């Protein structure tokens, strides 16, 4: 199976970058395409796992192709169309295009060409070849619910923390985090951020042993605080950039402090859980304020979130179908079939002579194997 995880150097050397598109512009295109998938899927009542799968396809596709060659909104519709079939929530292509047209301006919808349906259907074949037919995708939602069930504490604060972490997972799909880390690590990092935002301190958890210094050590290994803070900052930067009112075209100018982050300061307790410094007035505090505002606008987490796997396809090889009837027999023939006629000529071989053939006159008068025909011509040695 292909490896879908890249380092930051590879993420800055994509086909779009080689095609003359800056890194900041590409990140904006990725965010706009992912949010368009989310808006279209929500308007069509698609599940969260279907929309998340479509976003993952979208990010993987542009690791091999340029935004200059393939318009982002056409690719977004194609990814959502394919994700609906993979997650067993299919939607017709014309319905997706109709919904997209209602969400986009006339100028943006012109990228679909004269025949939008043919454009999406043709791009689907390119998408399948690009992602190498690796259709099954894991998301952090399952691990978020699994890890949260092991935490102990106030049920109200725990539920608030899970709701906030769920929202962070939704928004993280607008970034390239899914191309950098596994879903288990993303779930831990965003739960870590939600715990600090919601003032939920993890004191104890189910299955705790002496070798577990922090609560996430039981689920993932060798996860450092620097790694968690890097993931948290990538999500917080999403809220900070969304709060600015910059025009869509020309592309956004790079920010002055793009690579510099202020550490998320706090008090580290004995179990590794940090408390928020509420008196801090750093840049991170403003980022957390924006995150809280975005939190209030997010839809609630489904109360009946299904267990993993989310209605995925059966494992390969697929079982033989049982609903297909056997092929019909030969067509009915009118009347009985014609009689079989076997030829009688040439005659059969002469019979085997008995042991006393010479004394009994067998060679003088050989029997005729076919009495209906005249006696055949015999070689001289029969006489």
Tell me what pLDDT residue 57 has: 97
How large is the average pLDDT for residues 33-54?
A: 95
How large is the average pLDDT for residues 341-365?
A: 60
208 in Cβ contact with 151 (< 8 Å):
no
Q: Each residue of 53-83: pLDDT tens digit?
A: 999 999 999 999 999 999 999 999 999 999 9
Question: What is the pLDDT confidence band of residue 179, given thresholds at 50, 70 and 90?
Answer: very high
With pLDDT > 70 as the criterion, what percentage of the chain qualifies? 62
Tell me what pLDDT residue 251 has: 40
Question: What is the pLDDT confidence band of residue 13, given thresholds at 50, 70 and 90?
Answer: very high
Residue 247 has pLDDT above 70, yes or no: no
How large is the average pLDDT for residues 31-37?
A: 96
How large is the average pLDDT for residues 209-216?
A: 87
165 in Cβ contact with 194 (< 8 Å):
yes
Residue 30 has pLDDT above 60, yes or no: yes
Tell me what pLDDT residue 87 has: 94
Q: Each residue of 147-170: pLDDT tens digit?
A: 999 998 888 999 999 999 999 999
Question: What is the pLDDT confidence band of residue 103, given thresholds at 50, 70 and 90?
Answer: very high
Q: Where are the domains of the chain?
A: 7-137, 138-247+262-310
Question: What is the pLDDT confidence band of residue 311, given thresholds at 50, 70 and 90?
Answer: very low
Please report, for residues 57, 95, 119, 233, 298, the alpha-carbon distance to residue 173 in angstroms, rounded to integers and kept in the order given: 11, 24, 25, 14, 14
Which carries the bigger pLDDT value, residue 224 or residue 262?
224
Residue 345 has pLDDT above 60, yes or no: no
How large is the average pLDDT for residues 347-353?
A: 61
The Cα–Cα gap between 210 and 22 comes to 48
Q: DSSP letter at 268?
A: E
Question: What is the pLDDT confidence band of residue 285, given thresholds at 50, 70 and 90?
Answer: very low
Q: End-to-end alpha-carbon separation of the chain, Å?
A: 84
Which carries the bigger pLDDT value, residue 85 or residue 258?
85
Tell me what pLDDT residue 310 has: 38
Q: Each residue of 315-344: pLDDT tens digit?
A: 444 454 455 555 555 555 555 666 665 555
- Around Cβ 245, how many Cβ atoms within 10 Å? 5
Query: What is the C-alpha R_g of the chain?
Result: 37
69 in Cβ contact with 208 (< 8 Å):
no
Taking the model in full, what pTM does it have? 0.66
Q: What is the CATH number of domain 138-247+262-310?
A: 1.10.472.10
Tell me what pLDDT residue 212 has: 85
Question: What is the pLDDT confidence band of residue 254, given thresholds at 50, 70 and 90?
Answer: very low
How large is the average pLDDT for residues 189-217?
A: 89
Please report, for residues 3, 17, 75, the alpha-carbon distance to residue 14 in angstroms, rounded to integers and kept in the order given: 16, 5, 17
Which carries the bigger pLDDT value, residue 192 or residue 208?
192
- Around Cβ 61, how many Cβ atoms within 10 Å? 21
Can you name the CATH fold of 7-137? Cyclin A; domain 1 (1.10.472)
User: Do 138-247+262-310 and 7-137 have the same topology in CATH?
Assistant: yes
Tell me what pLDDT residue 263 has: 45
Mean pLDDT of the chain: 77
Q: How far is CA 197 from the centre of its chain?
A: 31
Residue 244 has pLDDT above 60, yes or no: no
């Amino acid at each position: 199976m292909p490896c879908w995880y890249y380092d930051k150097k590879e993420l800055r050397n994509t086909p779009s970058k080689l095609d003359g598109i800056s890194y900041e512009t590409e990140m904006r295109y990725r965010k706009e395409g992912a949010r368009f998938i989310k808006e279209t899927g929500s308007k069509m009542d698609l599940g969260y796992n279907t929309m998340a799968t479509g976003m993952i396809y979208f990010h993987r596709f542009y690791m091999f192709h340029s935004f200059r060659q393939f318009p982002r909104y056409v690719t977004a519709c194609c990814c959502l169309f394919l994700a609906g079939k993979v997650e067993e929530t299919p939607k017709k292509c014309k319905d997706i295009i109709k919904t997209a047209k209602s969400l986009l301006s006339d100028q943006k919808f012109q990228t679909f060409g004269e025949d939008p349906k043919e454009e999406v259907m043709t791009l689907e074949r390119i998408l399948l070849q690009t992602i190498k037919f690796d259709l099954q995708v894991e998301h952090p939602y399952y691990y978020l619910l699994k890890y949260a069930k092991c935490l102990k504490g106030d049920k109200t604060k725990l539920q608030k923390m899970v709701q906030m972490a769920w929202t962070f997972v939704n928004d993280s799909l607008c970034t390239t985090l899914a191309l950098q880390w596994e879903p288990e690590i993303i779930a831990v990092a965003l739960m870590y951020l939600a715990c600090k935002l919601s003032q939920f301190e993890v004191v104890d958890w189910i299955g705790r042993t002496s070798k577990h210094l922090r609560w996430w050590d039981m689920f993932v290994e060798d996860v450092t605080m620097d790694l968690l803070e890097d993931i948290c900052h990538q999500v917080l930067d999403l809220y900070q950039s969304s709060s600015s009112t910059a025009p869509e075209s020309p592309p956004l100018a790079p920010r002055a402090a793009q690579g510099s982050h202020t550490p998320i300061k706090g008090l580290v307790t004995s179990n590794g859980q940090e408390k928020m410094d509420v008196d801090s007035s750093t840049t991170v505090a403003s980022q957390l304020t924006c995150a809280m505002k975005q939190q209030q606008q997010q839809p609630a987490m489904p109360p009946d979130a299904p267990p993993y796997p989310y209605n995925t396809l059966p494992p390969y090889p697929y079982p033989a179908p049982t609903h297909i009837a056997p092929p019909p027999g030969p067509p009915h023939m009118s009347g009985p079939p014609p009689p079989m006629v076997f030829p009688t000529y040439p005659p059969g071989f002469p019979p085997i002579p008995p042991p006393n053939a010479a004394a009994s006159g067998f060679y003088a008068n050989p029997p005729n194997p076919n009495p209906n025909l005249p006696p055949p011509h015999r070689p001289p040695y029969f006489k």
